[in-house]
Structure 1
Amino acid sequence: MRKLLLSFCAFLLVSLDQLSKYWIAAQMNPGETQPFFPGLFSLTYLRNYGAAFSILQHQRWLFALITLVVLTVAVYYLIKNIKGDLLLLFGLILIIAGGLGNFIDRLCLGYVIDMINLDFMEFAVFNLADSYLTVGVLVLMIALWRDGRNGNQD
């Protein structure tokens, strides 16, 4: 049952990411910005041919290879710990969903669609998959730290 629930969560997260990117591409032109929650964030349609903060532009196959390695490791640890700590599994699912969301873009489009532009601070434009990855790594670090403090290291 746990495998089915985790698979559904990953599918739902990837679907939300892909639907948001599809909607942005259908509604806006590249470079266009529209207010969404004034003062909080706006939507800016960008095509990111690089990694975070647009570094390493046009290195599509390098990113594909790195993503496949990260996804393989994350899926391995998910399967290995399927009956373990839910916080750890949640972090891994977020990382897997984020990796898949951006991998699909790179594979199908050759770039990643970014759209979330924080209005209250100067920061890179990002997407839901990026958010999943960031929160997933944070959750994973908390789960591993907590596990280490409890003496449950393998």
Structure 2
Amino acid sequence: MGRVVLKNIVLFCILVFIDQVSKKWGSGLSTFHLNHGIMFGMLKDSSLFLRLTTLASIFGFLFSVYLILVYLLSSQLKVMKLGMTLLISGIFGNVLDKIILGASVDFIPLGPFSFNIADVFQWVGAGIILFKVFRKEDVIWYPGNKRGRVLVFRKEQFRFAAKLTLAVLCSSLIFGIFCFSFVQAVLFENRVFNSQYLWHFSISYTFLTLIFGTIVFLSGLILSHKTAGPIYAFINYLNDLIAGKENPKFKLREGDNYLELEKVAAQVEGHLKAKQ
């Protein structure tokens, strides 16, 4: 599963590189245009600070969700993961432009709008995702190789998810203090200090942190299931053997940890059969 995430990250980097190279080439065309907005010119009249913080926050949130989904989704959804990588790389390509240039580089005219390769990646990726959501509905929402419930060792799984969330919240607190101090210092140095800026920043940052913390907690429950699930299944298998049930089956699910338990189960079963 880790290899799948790594492959998608490598593809993400390649797509961003292609987008940036195409924009270098497109900047010399007569159709070259700087888009100071977000999508279709939205927020083009707002301050640069608001545009950058909004874009960076949205992308950071989306990228975290993207990594979680790429890791958790079934291996049968490779094409859907490709669509997600296209979408997120396109978003990052334009966010990178905004951070470096203050605007994204558009050079592909289409009616009243202008686009770039990153926009193409986004639309193609979104199209693939929507197509696969309907075509692979059973795999996404009702995977046959998943257990009936996520919480098999409720106390342990909640403890793991809580520890993971606490680590994220502590990191967010440290990062938030740094960002708050940095923004405050920049506002003072440029003599544009306004307490409303800091108030809005604090509220927005707290809101995003709580949302992300909730996602991390739920993800922690699912991730812990990949460890708790095999142990739970192995315990049930041993109980079936002790109870004398005929031909008890032990098979792990896709994405489970402790795959070596299948070999151990086969050895135990073989040993018991040899004694009979």
Same fold (TM > 0.5): yes
Q: In the alignment, which of 126, 131, 139 is matched to residue 128 of structure 2?
A: 139
Shift of 1:15: 0.7
Q: SS where residue 52 of structure 1 aligns?
A: coil
Q: In the alignment, which of 68, 79, 95 is matched to residue 103 of structure 1?
A: 95
Q: Which moved more, 1:75-84 or 1:130-139?
A: 75-84
**Structure number having the greater strand percentage:** 1
Which residue is 2:39 aligned to?
52
* 8 A contact 1:113–1:127 mirrored in 2: yes
* 8 A contact 1:90–1:136 mirrored in 2: yes
Which residue is 1:153 aligned to?
141
* 8 A contact 2:5–2:70 mirrored in 1: no
Distance (Å, rounded) in 2 between the aligned partners of 1:151 and 1:89 = 13
Which residue is 1:79 aligned to?
71
| Gap change, CA 1:11 and 1:153, over 3 Å in 2 | same
| Gap change, CA 1:83 and 1:124, over 3 Å in 2 | same
Shift of 1:72: 1.8
* 8 A contact 1:74–1:96 mirrored in 2: yes
Shift of 1:145: 1.2
Structure 2 residue 23 is the aligned partner of structure 1 residue 21 = yes
Letter in 2 for 1:6: N
Distance (Å, rounded) in 2 between the aligned partners of 1:13 and 1:152 = 26
For CA contacts below 8 A with separation 6 or more, give which structure has more relative contact order: 1
Write out per-residue CA displacement over residues 55-98 of structure 1, whole angstroms, 9 at most, x where no aligned residue: 22142321222222222212221122273411111111101211
Which residue is 1:36 aligned to?
none
TM-score by length of 2: 0.45
Identity %: 26
- Structure 1, unmatched stretches of 5+, are 34-43
- Structure 2, unmatched stretches of 5+, are 143-276
The size of the alignment, in residue pairs, is 135
Q: SS where residue 43 of structure 2 aligns?
A: coil
Distance (Å, rounded) in 2 between the aligned partners of 1:70 and 1:3 = 15
Shift of 1:136: 0.7
Distance (Å, rounded) in 1 between the aligned partners of 2:58 and 2:73 = 23
TM-score by length of 1: 0.77
Distance (Å, rounded) in 1 between the aligned partners of 2:73 and 2:129 = 13
